[in-house]
Amino acid sequence: MIRVQQEDFDPAEEYRALRDSGSGTGAIATFTGLVRDSGDLKGVTGLFLEHYPGMTEQVIEGLVREASGRWDVREARVIHRVGSLALGEQIVFVGVCSAHRGDAFAACEFIMDALKTSAPFWKKEITGDSEHWVEQKAADLDRSQSWE
Amino acid sequence: MSADNTITVKFFARLREELDTASLTVEAESDLTAGKLLQSLAARGGSWTQLAGAHPVMIAVNQVMTKPDTVLQPGDEVAFFPPVTGG
């Protein structure tokens, strides 16, 4: 299940859906990303998130397929928000259920790391008096490449 | 110019803003690659010159990431955008 949306999401609801997804599940790993007050700029008050409709969903579907090929993934749920988000708001959710914790942790982290460097989303940081398109980070590329 | 013989070009994020263009169409030509199209757009001058290599530009054809040597076909959708920064 992949969703790109402006609206907020409820991690508890997503967790319930993962828990109810079928027999054989012994582990659920989830990640939630939030808007932070400092990134490229200090004093960030919010973000604007843009995406490439259609391609974004296809790329994330491909990452979930790849994860399912590498680990035991019974079900994965990925939600990414777009539009204007204020400080502290939820940006992204990745939840994976598996038979065992190792596969759940690995698949969840892989999907998140790969999403950051391959899904067509762009963040613009907003402060009181300026705005700035975030630059891609070498550390994010390193994390993504570490799964290859 | 028939719609069948055109290529749709899309721009996102910083490029969309700085070029003041979300999308445009160009006429398809034989042997036109994504890289050649990028160079011809850079030749428009002004803010378009940044497409010539001053900043990294990622390329997608029909919503799949690809390389500059990809040959474009009539009806293709090409997108140029900065390195992605979601998550």
Domain A2-145 has CATH 3.30.428.10: no
Confirm whether B15 is domain-assigned.
Answer: yes
Q: For residue range A60-105, list pLDDT tens digits in order.
A: 999 999 999 999 999 999 999 999 999 999 999 999 999 999 999 9
The CATH number that applies at residue B26 is: 3.10.20.30
Interval B11-56: pLDDT, tens: 999 999 999 999 999 999 999 999 999 999 999 999 999 999 888 9
Strand-pairing partners, residue A34, are A90
Complex ipTM: 0.93
Residue B55 forms part of a structural domain: yes
- Burial of residue A15, with CB atoms counted within 10 A of its CB: 0-12 exposed, 13-18 middle, 19 or more buried: middle
B60·A116 Cβ contact <8 A: no
Q: In chain A, what percentage of residues exceed pLDDT 70?
A: 100
Please give the DSSP secondary-structure letter assigned to residue B3: G
Interface of A with B (CB under 8 A): 33, 49-52, 54-55, 58-59, 80, 91-92, 112, 115-124, 133-136, 140
Q: Count structural domains, chain B.
A: 1
Tell me the two tokens of residue A62. Answer: 């491909």
Residues of B with CB below 8 A from A51's CB?
86
Q: Is residue B86 in some structural domain?
A: no
Residue B27 maps to a domain: yes
Q: In terms of residue numbers, what domain contains B25?
A: 3-81
Mean pLDDT across chain A = 95
pLDDT of residue B60: 98
CB B61 within 8 A of CB B43: no
Going from N- to C-terminal start, the domains of chain A cover 2-145
